[in-house]
Amino acid sequence: MFSLEEIVEKICEHTGMSQKKVMQLIDEKEDELSGLVSREGAAYIVARELGISLLKESKKQLKVKSLTEGLNSVDIVARVVRIYEPREFQKDDRKGSVMNLILGDETGMVRLSLWNDEIENVAELGMKEGDVVKISRGYVKMDNRGNLDLRIGKGRIEKVEEEVKLPELKGMEKDFGVVRRKPLSEAKDGETIETRACLVQLFRKNPFFEVCPTCGVRMKNRTGKWVCDQHGEVKPDYHVVISGVLDDGYGNIRVVFFRELAEKLFGKNAAELRAFAQERVDPLAIYEASDVLGKDYIIKGRVRKNELTENLEMIANSIEEPDVKREFDMLMKEIS
Ligand SMILES: [Zn+2]
């Protein structure tokens, strides 16, 4: 239960009425019900008549995992995991800007989008990655790609200076697989990074390897026959592996694309690539037919030290072509 003071404060907060005005309404309600309810009771009724749900207000702070579409009056304390640059948009005669932050706690991560004036207000708080913020009375929307979007609207955001029990930034990034874009010159053994880089070289090696169709393990060639240790002599499936060198202008790194990623890079599946190579009786023919050299890609991958060469290499786990238009279109859809 709330005290009378707390109820009055909530009504002021929600309606912008003065405390005096709210007290007056409560007095009137008390008179109206001529002693049937306590003063607190009258205050509850006034709040309800003004559309303020004190039950909702009294709920405790939410965790990221419990955010769902359509949720209103969201109170949450979370750590700022990432701050993106604000972007300008123009739609018909409307101009504006939007800025995304990623917030996280021990249960997950969510995007917070700030619009127009909200961006300046937050900038004034001097927010940086790793800070803890409290959002009061925010709401949750679903964007057109099915991602939840936390918004402030008529609520508020503030920086929390006192110590709060939340996982540290590094731990959260690791737990939730956040991948940070960084220059290749700063890539370190064991980390997963994103790079926008140019594929400057391909190693022209046989890209096909034989795997067991049942267990997927690489097969061995025994006197001209393909054998799986577990499943014996079977007709192999073929997988593709492509390797090369990426350069982002700061540094370069050897990169390896396995299976689906190699297929995506070359725009053909393994069977098509193999058919192409067989037709030309040359497994290296697929390199001649590809136009990937000299192109820019956005690649995420795990950096590791090659045990033989002692050099760093990247095992790609996603590859995309940079697509400015798509990101722009997504933004436009969201604000329409
Ligand atoms: Zn097998």
Q: Which domain CATH number covers 299?
A: 2.40.50.140
The secondary element (H helix, E strand) that includes residue 203 is none
Q: How close is the Cα of 216 to the center of ligand 1, in Å?
A: 6
Domain stops at, among 175, 198, 220:
175
CA distance 303 to 228: 30
Given this model, what pLDDT does residue 293 score?
Answer: 94
Q: How close is the Cα of 149 to the center of ligand 1, in Å?
A: 45
Q: How close is the Cα of 228 to the center of ligand 1, in Å?
A: 5
- Return all residues near 197 (Cβ < 8 A) that are at least 6 apart: 184, 246, 247, 248, 249, 252, 296, 297, 299
Q: How close is the Cα of 238 to the center of ligand 1, in Å?
A: 13
Range of the structural domain that residue 157 is part of: 64-175
With beta carbons less than 8 A apart as the criterion, state whether 13 and 48 touch: no
Q: How close is the Cα of 325 to the center of ligand 1, in Å?
A: 45
280 shares a domain with 190: yes
82 shares a domain with 10: no
Number of domains in the chain: 3
Q: How close is the Cα of 266 to the center of ligand 1, in Å?
A: 27
What are the C-alpha distances in Å from 14 to residues 20, 51, 133?
15, 9, 21
Q: Is residue 150 part of a domain?
A: yes
> The pTM is what?
0.55
Dihedral angle, C-alpha 254, 321, 196, 87, nearest 10 °? -170
272 shares a domain with 185: yes
Q: How close is the Cα of 237 to the center of ligand 1, in Å?
A: 11
Q: How close is the Cα of 233 to the center of ligand 1, in Å?
A: 9
Task: Give residues whose Cβ lies within 5 Å of ion ligand 1.
Answer: 212, 214-215, 228, 230-231
Nearest alpha-carbon partner for 102 in 73, 141, 131:
131
pLDDT values of the chain reduced to their tens digit, one per residue, 336 residues: 678 888 898 899 888 899 999 999 999 999 988 878 888 889 988 998 888 877 655 456 889 988 988 888 899 999 998 888 888 888 778 889 999 999 999 988 999 999 999 998 888 888 888 999 999 999 999 887 678 899 999 899 999 888 888 988 888 877 776 777 789 999 999 888 889 899 999 999 999 999 999 998 899 999 889 999 999 999 999 999 999 999 999 999 999 999 999 999 999 999 999 999 999 999 999 998 889 999 999 999 999 999 888 999 999 998 988 766 655 654 565 565
Q: Is residue 265 part of a domain?
A: yes
Q: How close is the Cα of 217 to the center of ligand 1, in Å?
A: 6
With beta carbons less than 8 A apart as the criterion, state whether 118 and 66 touch: no
Domain stops at, among 141, 175, 209:
175
Q: How close is the Cα of 300 to the center of ligand 1, in Å?
A: 30
Domain stops at, among 175, 200, 230:
175
298 shares a domain with 189: yes
Q: Is residue 290 part of a domain?
A: yes
Q: How close is the Cα of 213 to the center of ligand 1, in Å?
A: 7
